[in-house]
Structure 1
Amino acid sequence: MIGAVQLGVLAACVVVLVPMAMAGYHLSRNKMLFFSGALFITLAIGVHLTPYFPTVNDFVTTVSSVVVFENRRDSCLSHLHDVVWEVTPSPNFNPLDNNTVNYDKSWAWASSSAVSACGFQKLGRFDASDLLNGSWVVVAGDSQARLVALSLLSLVLDSGPLEMVNKDLFKRHSDYQIVVGEIGMRLDFIWAPYTVNLTNLVTKFKRNRNFPDVLVMGSGLWHMLHFTNASDFGVQLQSLRRSAASLLPVSLETGSNKPETSSASGSGSARRPHLFWVGMPTLINSMLNTEEKRERMTDAMRGEYDKGLQKSKLIRQAGGPLWLLDIESLSWNCGVRCTVDGMHYDMPVYEAVLHIMLNALLIESHQKL
């Protein structure tokens, strides 16, 4: 109804304005009246017959729907990290002990109208299992990535199996693999503390033509501690960007819409894997547990590493292939009462990271929020 009215108004404007414009060319009165009448009759017939041409109708509706969806999708993705925290003393608060167990932490998405319209939700075990059913998930990186993997398994596993997972997953500097039989989800954790390890991993996926459905990667802390060279870190990220971009059906290097020859399924299709980058956390220098860390992992150096990430254009927000899971902002907002060593944060922070990722998967896979 609204479309027909708008089209009618447009037709009326054309009927009135076009003859007025033609008058400026000193056409005769009879020619103007003839042209005006013919134009009016043509537009009137077009307005009344348009509903009977479903192809045109469907095309207009489809284009409008795509535009609305893309705008909403981009808007909601930009609000995923709009999280607020509540950190309060626990019932067993001990003023003589500054341990984080003294505080209860909870989080929620902000209540602004823009965020509320997106309908973000904390997924329960059933919904998360349904979303990840039959998926191959790879989490690769350092201790921050390991904690993201633990958060995911904590959501989909019962408490019994989770106890064994905690024991095996945290074996020092080791890989870990598990298949959650109930939902057919396979999770691989790959210990890859340096960016070059991640690039080698992506290269291996490409060589084998066998890609995970969800790939979560992150590095930086080890490089900052052992190399303390933000420029070198940035160069390594650029190399990772080029490798990760080739996993996608559209080349980010050339801007081409032509699908890459490789595919997520390895069968020639252009199915796109979901790629995420685990950002470095807020570092609280005074709480770092060694003198070497306090000397090298300063706020200034942390800022230089952030610049290296931005310049590399690795993350989607900067035009790259990976969505950023912004642990820095989440850990900063949770605060000093959410960490014992100024680097590793309490599980609610990684729980928030996980649910941000799951909601991004819902949006990216065009499922209802």
Structure 2
Amino acid sequence: MVGAVQFGVLAACIVLFVPMILAGWHLSRNKMLFFSGALFITLAVGVHLTPYFPSITNIISSLSSTVVLDNRTSCLSFLHEIVWDVKPIKGGSLDSLNFEKSWSWSKSTPVITCGFQKLGRKDASDLLNGSWIVVAGDSQARLVVVSLLNLVLDPVEMESIQGDLFKRHSNYATVIEEIGVKLDFIWAPYTENLTTYLMQLKHDRRYPDVLVMGSGLWHMLHVTDSLDYGLSLRSVKKSLLSFASIYSEYETAGSATGSFSVRSPHMFWLGMPVLINSMLNTEEKREKMNEVIQASYEKKLYESKLLRQSGGPLVLLDIKLLSRNCGAKCTVDGMHYDTAVYEAAIHVMFNALLIESQQRL
């Protein structure tokens, strides 16, 4: 239907402007009237017949959808083009806690065209309204949860949950009644924990609206075997695809019966940060979490084809790129970074959600 309307608008423009151009070429009045009349009749008949020729309508629709898809894919690839402004706080010492960190998207033409936005509390709440969000992983994932809650809760509310939120090696769950958001943090330091949780979701037929997962640091420190890590990532992918297939069946059944409405889950992989070896706080970490080993782990991640850019289902939240660009002044231990880094990751996720759902705030 939309394709036919667009075709009609194009036809009207041709009927209006082509005779004017021909008149500029000094054709006789009779010839111009004859040509415009014939053109009008031909295009009018074409517009009315287009809906009855599915192939034409499908071609128009497919071209339109291809443009939308290309724009979405293109904008997703520019989401991490973020620049940092890190400067010392006046009168403070030169450790990471005494630097002011701020960030913004670059001013490159593609980024400006995509129109990425930093969302305030109201817009973030509107975007997440009624959603179930699950973040599963290690301490990096917990810091992402902290940044997310910082954006949707006021300071008093945030202070009241600090004790529960920062309990080490434990799950955390909360419901933000005002916007109907359910948020679960699942302590899952190993990829095997992620697989177990995905299978649990599949078994329970429970499907979060937003799923953020990530692991690797614990495996690197306590197992130190990138080959084993790669195999475990393949298990995560298998479980994830199985989970997604059950969801699709659930969605199809619901659509057929009209008994309920469901939304496709948005899924993200939380990448590992830059590890600054000289700042790591134990000899074991400095030995086992060096640059070469981290590179081998990242290679296995891309080989697993979990990520969207390698044909997988997960959009990458590239903490490595964000932390590298922020630099050593944004971390106290070479592993856990300043709140600003995870805040930037949350805004990357928010804008990915806007792109994926084709929304504008």
Bin of the TM-score, shorter chain as denominator length: 0.7 to 0.9
Separation in 1, partners of 2:218, 2:260? 37
Give yes or no for the alignment of 1:326 onto 2:318: yes
Which residue of the partner structure matches residue 202 of structure 1?
A: 198
State the 1:125 CA deviation: 0.5
Aligned to 2:98: 102
- Cα distance change of structure 1 residues 195 and 330 upon mapping to structure 2, 3 Å threshold: same
Q: Which runs of 5+ in 2 are unaligned?
A: 1-7, 16-37
Structure 1 residue ranges, 4+ long, deviating more than 3 angstroms after superposition:
1-8, 42-48, 56-64, 262-271
Letter in 1 for 2:73: D
1:283 aligns to 2:275 (yes or no): yes
- Name the count of aligned residue pairs: 326
Q: Find 2:294's aligned residue among 287, 302, 315.
A: 302
Residue identity matched to 1:47: L
Identity of aligned residues (%): 55
Cα drift, residue 246 of structure 1: 2.6
Aligned to 1:152: 148
2:233 is the counterpart of 1:234: no
* Residues 264 and 359 of structure 1: CA distance in aligned 2, closer, same or farther (over 3 Å): farther
Deviation at 1:312, TM superposition (A): 0.5
Gap runs ≥5 in structure 1: 9-41, 252-258
CA 241–320 in structure 1, closer or farther in 2 if over 3 Å, else same? same
- 2:317/2:348 contact within 8 Å kept: yes
Instruction: Give the whole-Å Cα distance in 1 for the aligned partners of 2:269 and 2:162.
Output: 23
* Alignment correspondent of 1:140: 136
- The change in CA–CA distance for 1:156 and 1:224 in structure 2 (over 3 A counts) is same
Give the counterpart of 2:249 among 233, 257, 261.
261
Please give the alpha-carbon distance, in whole angstroms, between the structure 2 residues aligned to 1:356 and 1:155: 13
SS at 1:173 equivalent: coil
Amino acid at match of 2:226: A
Tell me the CA shift for residue 66 of structure 1. Answer: 1.5
Correspondence for 1:17: none
Partner of 1:184: 180
- Does the 8 Å CA contact 2:277/2:290 hold for their aligned counterparts? yes
What is the TM-score with the length of structure 2 in the denominator? 0.84
State the alpha-carbon separation in 2 of the partners of residues 242 and 334 from structure 1: 34
CA contact (8 A) 1:218 1:278 kept: yes
**CA drift at 1:354:** 0.2
SS of residue paired to 2:334: coil
TM-superposed deviation, 1:260: 4.0
Q: Which residue number corresponds to residue 130 of structure 1?
A: 126
Secondary structure, aligned partner of 2:243: coil
Q: In the TM superposition, what is the alpha-carbon distance from 1:53 to its structure 2 partner? A: 4.0
Task: Give 1 or 2: higher helix fraction.
Answer: 2
Taking a change above 3 Å as real, the CA distance of residues 308 and 70 of structure 1, as seen in their structure-2 partners, is: same
Paired position in structure 1 for 2:306 = 314
SS of residue paired to 1:201: helix
Aligned-pair distance for 1:93?
Answer: 2.7
**1:211, 1:264 within 8 Å by CA — same for their partners in 2?**
no
- The alpha-carbon deviation at position 46 of structure 1 amounts to 4.0
Identify the residue that residue 69 of structure 1 maps to in structure 2: 68
Query: Counterpart amino acid of 2:127?
Result: L
Per-residue deviation at 1:368? 1.9
Q: Does the 8 Å CA contact 2:226/2:300 hold for their aligned counterparts?
A: yes
Q: Deviations over 1:257-301 (max 9, x none)?
A: xx8435599989774211111000000000000111001000000
Taking structure 1 as reference, are residues 66 and 59 closer, same or farther at Cα in structure 2, changes over 3 Å only?
same
Counterpart position of 1:11: none
Cα distance in structure 1, aligned partners of 2:358 and 2:266: 13
Equivalent of 1:222 in 213, 218, 223: 218
Q: Name the Cα RMSD after superposition.
A: 2.7
TM-score normalised by the chain length of structure 1? 0.82
Alignment of 1:38-77 (within 5 A): 46-53=42-49, 55=51, 62-77=61-76
